[in-house]
Structure 1
Amino acid sequence: MFGERLFRARAASGLSMKELALLAGVSANMIKKYEHNESMPGSAVLLKMSRALGVRNEYFFRPTTVELKEVEYRKRSNLSKKALTRIHADIINQVERWMELAALWPCFPVPAFSAPLFSTQRLTHYDDVEKVAECLRQQWCLGSQPIASLIDLLERQGILVIVTQADHAEKFDGCQAKVNGMPVIVISGKWPGDRQRFTLAHELGHLVLHHRLADNLDEEKACHRFAGAFLLPASTMRQRLGARRHALEVRELYLLKQEAGLSMMACIYRAADLGIISDQTRQKLFMLFSASHWRTLEPGEAYPAESTTLFSQLVFRGLGEGILSESKAAELLGISLSQFHRTRKLESPDVDSYQ
């Protein structure tokens, strides 16, 4: 167990055996022996390795182990295997903390995910996907207004959301998996908020549409349609833009983006899907965005990135209820005990998400 955790922490840090050995004051061969459970480091070496890897000593002896199942990465072709290994290690580390926190509660106050029920079980047209998104919003009592925090919504529905800050995470397009039957969605913390939200909604689409699509429907395209419909319902879209338009102003697309947390490009796709604009108008807008170099970086202020707060809230709730000690709370948050004391007394910046 120790060796696996050491390897995972080293992979997450991006250090080679030789680099870690130099920082820990041992040989690279000794690091190899540690990782193969052929030897155990003394307390002094363990402390040096912990500092070099950015983890607490307790990390190496954490009792909770998890296995991600049904893992589906969506990544760019230029994301290296080493970078993906670092991202995977970070995901496992965060999931383990969640599982350990849940195991400490007599009754964990987060419901298990319940698959939504739809009247139409087999979807034969992309318009059916639109109806599924509307139905899910109704079941979750969302109305037609924009969703303030999509991460918070998904977590409180029993979907574990992991935000990774690992190096090269900006080249990572998302991941979906399961652990102990719980759905897990992973996004990058280095993206703007509109991209995070679309990816979250897209992965939610995979979760609810899987095995429900007719053979003539492409699942990726269906999930794109679901994401747009879930974040920006048809009724709201038509209320903002009108039932039929011959052209769209860039400024109104920007305002719609800031309201709904959906990129301007996605809003254009959405308008075309709903028949608000023609395919010709959509193509003209795409040409404008390409000529203005807005496809990679849209104009105006970026939509704020989302973050997860539920984990930290539950840690402090558990502390207040006597379920967790200060030491365990600090360990779960990945900070030192002295930093935890300052954070608890609001003497340092809030811990909005765990590392």
Structure 2
Amino acid sequence: MIGNRIKRARKAAGMSLRALADEVGVSHTSLNKFEHGTLTPSSAQLIMLGRALGVRTEYLLRPERTEVELEEVEYRKHPKTPRKLLDRITATVLDQAERWMELLDLYPTPPIKQMVVPSSVSPSITRYEQLEEVADGLRLEWGLGENPIPDLIDTLESRGLLVIPVEVPEGVRFDGLAGQVGERHIIVVSKSIPGDRQRLTLAHELAHRLLAGHIAENLNEETACTRLAGALLLPRQAVCDHLGNHRNALEWRELYLLKHEFGVSMAAALFRAEQSGVITESLKKRLFREFYTRGWGMKEPGDPVNPEHSLLFEHLVYRALSEDFIGQSKAAELLGISASQFQENRSLTEIGVDATAHQ
């Protein structure tokens, strides 16, 4: 175990056996034995190895596979979602989380950062209106401006959240959940829902991670998370820029265009119009009555927003393979595909293969 980690860290550092041996002050033969597991380095040698390779000693001592637990779980689901289905989804998530942890352990230094709660999140949220400022501050700190977020999954992963898409049986309402595995924050989202609902789910679960312990008792946490999610996806200033500062009427086509520009539902865009002060609450209620009369509560008109996919896990598997941290069989195992399928994907003999098929 220690030998494999020394070898991986050495290769990641671009050092030869002899160069590392000279740096640590051991013989080339001894270092070779360390890497092959026939000789165990002393505590002092481990410290020297860690310093020379730029990794923590804990990395060299960490078990190859660590059993994981899903903690601090927050579900975003329909009230009638069967408990058995939730248990199955949790088991699937744990399996993927274990593979995530194993994959991250391959790297001498973490290939992705840890999520940090931005300073724009107030320590005490006592009014729902404060969440507009939180969203604006979050966009500012993350360099998102006021433009649409083209790939929310990529944005979250770049900030240290692990996103795990899962298959959900047709007809079953489950949108997603947020949780924690060790020090890593994860968001689980259904592959089976439209892109606008998927994006709202991702933003909602992010809000749970960010607002934990910050919401006053007089506020409803779900309402607060939904408000922050909407403000993040469709900022107040963008609403005013597109619709104007005050309107006495709205065209449905305006909401449809906002849907496809910002990746939110027409219903969410209508909520944001009222929350941004563009329309009154009474106009919002009147428009929603018409909205549901038209049957759009079940299915909105026009083309749906395409769902998003995560490619980070697969990318890091192939990076580990290229860095010689793992072989082909381990790479296939981590991706959950056969050796033959992996070889075809790797060699691009199936050019049309969906890059997201194994997520």
What SS does structure 1 have at the residue aligned with 2:129? helix
Tell me the CA shift for residue 347 of structure 1. 1.9
Q: What's the CA shift string for 1:262-311, capped at 9, x where partnerless?
A: 10000000000111011121112111111111011100000000111111
Tell me the CA shift for residue 162 of structure 1. 1.1
2:324 matches 1:336: no
Tell me the CA shift for residue 171 of structure 1. 0.9
Tell me the CA shift for residue 236 of structure 1. 0.9
**1 CA distance for matches of 2:77 and 2:158?**
27
Equivalent residue runs for 1:56-205 within 5 Å:
63-118=65-120, 120-167=122-169, 170-205=172-207
* Structure-2 residue corresponding to 1:313: 315
Tell me the CA shift for residue 339 of structure 1. 0.8
Change (3 A) 1:333 1:120: closer
Tell me the CA shift for residue 121 of structure 1. 2.3
**1 CA distance for matches of 2:193 and 2:121?**
36
Tell me the CA shift for residue 353 of structure 1. 5.2
Query: In structure 1, which of residues 295, 298, 301 is the aligned counterpart of residue 300 of structure 2?
Result: 298
Tell me the CA shift for residue 176 of structure 1. 1.2
Tell me the CA shift for residue 169 of structure 1. 8.0
* Structure-2 residue corresponding to 1:352: 356
Q: What's the CA shift string for 1:50-104, capped at 9, x where partnerless?
A: xxxxxxxxxxxx9342101112223222222222222111111111111110111
Contact 1:159 1:182 in 2 (8 A): yes
* Identity rate, percent: 46
**1 CA distance for matches of 2:283 and 2:92?**
43
- Could you say which structure has the larger radius of gyration? 2
Moved more, 253-262 or 121-130: 121-130
Equivalent residue runs for 1:264-275 within 5 Å:
264-275=266-277
Tell me the CA shift for residue 249 of structure 1. 0.9
**2 CA distance for matches of 1:187 and 1:316?**
24
Q: What's the CA shift string for 1:228-252, capped at 9, x where partnerless?
A: 1101111111111111111111111
**2 CA distance for matches of 1:315 and 1:350?**
16
C-alpha RMSD of matched pairs (Å): 1.6
* Count of residue pairs brought into register by the alignment: 294
Flag structure 1 segments of 5+ consecutive residues without an equivalent: 1-61
Change (3 A) 1:353 1:147: farther
Flag structure 2 segments of 5+ consecutive residues without an equivalent: 1-63
**1 CA distance for matches of 2:151 and 2:319?**
21
Tell me the CA shift for residue 173 of structure 1. 3.0
Contact 2:168 2:174 in 1 (8 A): no
**2 CA distance for matches of 1:92 and 1:330?**
18
What SS does structure 2 have at the residue aligned with 1:176? strand
Tell me the CA shift for residue 216 of structure 1. 2.3
Change (3 A) 1:327 1:353: same
Tell me the CA shift for residue 160 of structure 1. 1.0
Q: What's the CA shift string for 1:110-148, capped at 9, x where partnerless?
A: 001112113742222211111011101111111111111
What is the identity, as a one-letter code, of the residue corresponding to 2:146?
S
**2 CA distance for matches of 1:173 and 1:119?**
25
Query: In structure 2, which of residues 235, 241, 244 is the aligned counterpart of residue 242 of structure 1?
Result: 244
Tell me the CA shift for residue 334 of structure 1. 0.8
TM-score (norm 1): 0.79
**2 CA distance for matches of 1:113 and 1:242?**
36
**1 CA distance for matches of 2:120 and 2:232?**
15
After TM superposition, which residue ranges in structure 1, 4 or more long, deviate above 6 angstroms? none
Change (3 A) 1:80 1:123: closer
TM-score (norm 2): 0.79
* Structure-2 residue corresponding to 1:8: none
**2 CA distance for matches of 1:181 and 1:171?**
29
What is the identity, as a one-letter code, of the residue corresponding to 2:118?
P
What SS does structure 2 have at the residue aligned with 1:271? helix
Tell me the CA shift for residue 351 of structure 1. 3.2
